[in-house]
């Protein structure tokens, strides 16, 4: 990685990865958070989803890294220095990472670029996704959840 964002000895892996990606972008190319996600390896997507899970269980270091990633992503998308967001916006990172996993598995198609700066997104099930959904419904037919 070309850029290392850190706090003391703690290097923030994902914000550093994003900063390196941004540094290598062509000038004037519009940034979307989803474009960066598509460059991550399957292992990194899994690590990002795990980081989101750690945040949910109260990990301060996971929260710090994800908030820094959110702020960096929002700043890159909006080209603004002052970033305003609701705390739950950080949850979009995990949702978007899951979307990327499902896209790679061929279950969904991302219709509209994934942007942290927007509150809506557009995805669709692929034929494989529709078949998987139908298969799951058949498997769960008659199952009662308590």
Whole-angstrom distance, CA of residue 96 vs CA of residue 119: 12
What is the reported pLDDT for 130? 87
Identify any residues that bridge with 123 across adjacent strands, giving them in sequence order. 110
Task: For residue 79, give the nearest of 53, 117, 34, 41 by alpha carbon.
Answer: 117
Report residue 4's pLDDT band, with 50, 70 and 90 as the boundaries. low
What is the reported pLDDT for 85? 86
Return the residue matching tokens 């750690």. Answer: 54
Distances (CA, A) of 92 to 24, 69, 89, 134, 143: 24, 11, 6, 27, 31
* Mean pLDDT confidence for 106-132: 90
The two three-digit tokens of residue 39, written as one number: 């460059």
What is the reported pLDDT for 145? 42
DSSP letter at 82? S
* Mean pLDDT confidence for 9-28: 84
Whole-angstrom distance, CA of residue 29 vs CA of residue 70: 19
What is the reported pLDDT for 1? 43
* Mean pLDDT confidence for 85-100: 91
Report residue 121's pLDDT band, with 50, 70 and 90 as the boundaries. confident
């Amino acid at each position: 990685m070309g850029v290392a964002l850190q706090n003391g000895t703690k290097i923030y892996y994902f914000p550093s990865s994003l900063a390196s990606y941004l540094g290598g972008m062509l000038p004037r190319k519009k940034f979307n958070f989803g474009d960066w996600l598509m460059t991550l390896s399957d292992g990194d997507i899994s690590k990002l989803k795990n980081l989101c899970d750690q945040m949910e269980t109260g990990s301060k270091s996971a929260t710090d890294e994800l908030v820094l990633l959110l702020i960096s992503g929002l700043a890159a998308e909006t080209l603004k220095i002052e970033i305003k967001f609701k705390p739950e916006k950080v949850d979009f990172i995990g949702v978007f990472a899951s979307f990327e996993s499902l896209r790679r598995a061929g279950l969904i198609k991302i219709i509209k670029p994934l942007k942290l700066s927007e509150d809506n997104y557009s995805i669709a099930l692929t034929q494989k996704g529709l078949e998987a959904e139908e298969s799951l419904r058949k498997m769960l037919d008659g199952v009662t959840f308590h």
